[in-house]
């Protein structure tokens, strides 16, 4: 005769069994793209290359050999993905036969050994819009690792890292440059060259400019105001 505990265990086990047999989505792939300040601020396109799991060409990602039988519920765990040890306080552990998926391949693909995926070299083009900041993440949907038992693929997540510039730094919408001039240039004023994101430009220094003064450059690199701080030697 079944007790209330046995009935509850059967119901819970059946629920978990159905959950385990659902299609398993592939994991996301993460990649860090390092770019120059100008490439991030002005926008750019990059081709990235890396190795990751991709669909097996032999079985088209199914995990079953061509013409073979479809996967079925794991006979060891009954499709639950976990097994329970003996004893009243026994713990549930991941099923070693199906690795917790609740499914097993009856006729596994010989190329990928039933996994449905193989490690391969992958190439993608990533376009960064103008104004991209360090730490930004670009998600390319459905280009992660393939799923299992018909599950959809994961995503490719590209995180942007910006290299420090030798002369320029970004502060919000502005590009800043610390410019060193001689006391004579500061006293007389005039046009001095300053670096920008796209090359160099001439900055008009007013006569008698003081140390630490900010001057707006005529060149508007990447549609942002370029600012130079004049510093006397």
Predicted local distance difference test score (pLDDT) of residue 233:
37
Whole-angstrom distance, CA of residue 112 vs CA of residue 63 = 7
| Residue linked to tokens 């552990």 | 93
Q: Is the pLDDT of residue 232 over 50?
A: no
Do domains 19-71+106-162 and 168-232 share one topology? The answer is: yes
Instruction: Give the closest residue to 226 by CA, choosing from 187, 191, 200, 208.
Output: 200
Write the pLDDT tens digit of every residue in 25-34. 889 999 999 9
Element containing residue 124 per DSSP (H, E): strand 117-128
Q: Is the pLDDT of residue 21 over 60?
A: no
Predicted local distance difference test score (pLDDT) of residue 34:
97
Q: Find the range with the poorest average confidence among 93-97, 190-194, 215-219, 222-226.
A: 222-226
Write the CB contacts of 88 (distance below 8 Å, at least 6 apart in sequence): none
Predicted local distance difference test score (pLDDT) of residue 66:
92
Per DSSP, 222 falls in state G
Query: Whole-model pTM?
Result: 0.69
Write the pLDDT tens digit of every residue in 200-217. 888 888 898 888 777 766
Per DSSP, 221 falls in state G
Whole-angstrom distance, CA of residue 65 vs CA of residue 114 = 8
The CATH homologous superfamily of the domain defined by 19-71+106-162: Urease metallochaperone UreE, N-terminal domain (2.60.260.20)
Spans of all domains in the chain:
19-71+106-162, 168-232
Q: Is the pLDDT of residue 181 over 60?
A: yes
Q: Count CB neighbours of 49 within 10 A.
A: 9
Antiparallel, parallel or unpaired: β 29-35 and 156-162: parallel
Structure tokens, 157: 């997540």
Q: Is the pLDDT of residue 24 over 90?
A: no
Whole-angstrom distance, CA of residue 112 vs CA of residue 74 = 19
Whole-angstrom distance, CA of residue 206 vs CA of residue 64 = 76
If one looks up domain 168-232 in CATH, what number appears? 2.60.260.20
Q: Find the range with the poorest average confidence among 46-55, 63-72, 212-221.
A: 212-221
Whole-angstrom distance, CA of residue 165 vs CA of residue 211 = 23
**What percent of the chain lies above the pLDDT cut of 70?**
82
Structure tokens, 25: 């989505």
Whole-angstrom distance, CA of residue 214 vs CA of residue 232 = 13
Three-state SS for 149?
A: coil
Write the CB contacts of 17 (distance below 8 Å, at least 6 apart in sequence): 73, 78, 79, 80, 81, 102
Write the pLDDT tens digit of every residue in 67-122. 999 899 999 998 888 998 877 777 889 898 888 888 899 999 999 988 889 999 99
Name the band, by pLDDT with cuts 50, 70 and 90, for residue 22.
low
Q: Is the pLDDT of residue 223 over 80?
A: no
Write the CB contacts of 87 (distance below 8 Å, at least 6 apart in sequence): none
Q: 218 or 204, which is more confident?
A: 204
């Amino acid at each position: 005769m079944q007790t209330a505990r046995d009935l509850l265990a059967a119901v819970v086990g059946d629920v978990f069994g159905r959950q385990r047999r659902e299609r398993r989505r592939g994991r996301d792939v993460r990649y860090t793209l390092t770019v120059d300040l100008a490439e991030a601020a002005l926008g750019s396109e990059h081709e990235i290359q890396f190795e990751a799991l991709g669909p097996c060409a032999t079985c088209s990602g199914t995990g079953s050999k061509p013409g073979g039988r479809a996967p079925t519920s794991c006979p060891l765990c009954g499709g639950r993905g976990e097994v329970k040890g003996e004893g009243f306080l026994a713990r549930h552990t991941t099923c070693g036969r199906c690795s917790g998926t609740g499914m097993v391949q009856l006729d596994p693909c010989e190329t990928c050994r039933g996994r449905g995926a193989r490690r391969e070299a992958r190439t993608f083009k990533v376009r960064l819009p103008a104004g991209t900041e360090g730490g930004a993440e670009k998600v390319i949907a459905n280009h992660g690792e393939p799923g299992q038992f018909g599950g959809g693929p994961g995503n490719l997540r590209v995180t942007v890292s910006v290299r420090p510039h030798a002369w320029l730094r970004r502060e919000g919408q502005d590009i800043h440059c610390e410019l060193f001039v001689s006391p004579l240039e500061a006293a007389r004023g005039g046009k001095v060259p300053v670096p920008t994101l796209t090359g160099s430009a001439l900055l008009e220094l007013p006569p008698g400019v003081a140390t630490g003064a900010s001057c707006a450059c005529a060149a508007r690199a990447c549609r942002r105001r370029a600012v130079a701080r004049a510093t006397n030697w």
